Structure 1
Amino acid sequence: MFLIISDLLKFAYTILMNHSRRIIERMEEMDKQKKPKYKIGDTVVITMYGTVGKVTDVKYLSGVYVYEINNSEGLYMESSLQLISEYEGELDEKEQIDIEYMYFFGDLVHVTGYGADLFKVVGFRTEIWRYKDNAWEDVIYELSRVSDGEWLEAGEEELTLVADADSADKFIEKLGLLSYVNNPHEPPALKETETKNWFRKAEKELLKRKYERKELIDSLLDIYNDYRHLYEMFHDKEYEKAMRVVIRKLRMIVNNDGKSSN
């Protein structure tokens, strides 16, 4: 009798263990089904297109996982994706190029070989060159000369930033109070006359806007500092001459003020 009971207990225990094992396996299978097949960062192939991308987001919608690829707006089902290491079809190869632009619309620049001339950036483009044994990209900037609007193309290595787009117009306005002197195509007497006439006109315009001597001096000092900055950057004689002209104007203002106070 005891043996029969013992055998029954063993049999019941075996049945219980087998049932428990099936329950555990079922739970593991269900848990496995709840986990996404792919994770963020996986490189996958979109099988319908043969294109390669990275998983950038995983979403759980209506009981299924869907995947965002390369930050795109569309979502892909698991069945439409495959790890690139497991993919055996043909891939549609695409190249992603990251271009960093040094200058932008409205920036004020100097161009190598054009002396003190100022140019504004009005456009830019990228030229992509691919050969069997070599590859590179060229960024070409389209420019307009401030003085006469002449159009010019130049590469990044030929440009030097003078003022960004936000401050370019103000910079040009301040420099507009002074003219470039010593034009090599005109005789010295004419250059001196034109310079003096221009400064008389500029001074009148400046006085109309400022009305006060202090503001006039401050404006001329700003102009002097701008030209000094340009001279330190480019060592162009035109800027050095303009600095001397500003100093002469400041001396004239101070001397005239001293005479009027006597």
Structure 2
Amino acid sequence: MKPKFAIGDIVAVEGYKDRIFYVDERRKVEASDKHCVSKYVEYDLTDAINGEWIEADEEDMRLVCREEASEDFLWNYDMTNYPEPTSTAFRYTEINYVREEAVGMAKEPKETPKTARAESAQEVAKRKRETDGLLDEYNDYMRLYESFGDAEYKTKADGVLAKMRREAGE
């Protein structure tokens, strides 16, 4: 029995419309009773946006993207109308609030904060867009320089290249 999904893959789960989850863990289960033995794979999943934790069976899951492409996928993912959690399941983003409330230090906020993974993905997406813009600008100036031979285009291209190097060195 080979699992369909790897750790780190992003999947959709039946019953959780328009939501995406990271595969955190998988278990090969062999259950038996007096009539039969059944083998299946069970997964622990974390909502990629709000951190809700759920369990799901393999047949209820659909691959959205593999782990290698998950960062790129989240960079371009539109989170504006992302659904709220549908169950009362425990969410990792609530860990600190639960502990503080238990000792009477603070109340749970009205909105669940974004997970660190989602914030990181947004920051990476922003940097990627900025880099892509600079590369486009550099390529445009170099094409103009090659077409017309005007040294001003080469100077501007060199300036863009210097800016990319400064930002890469940060």
Give TM-score, length-normalised by structure 2.
0.49
**Larger of the two Rg values belongs to structure:** 1
Q: RCO greater where, 1 or 2, for CA within 8 Å and sep 6 or more?
A: 2
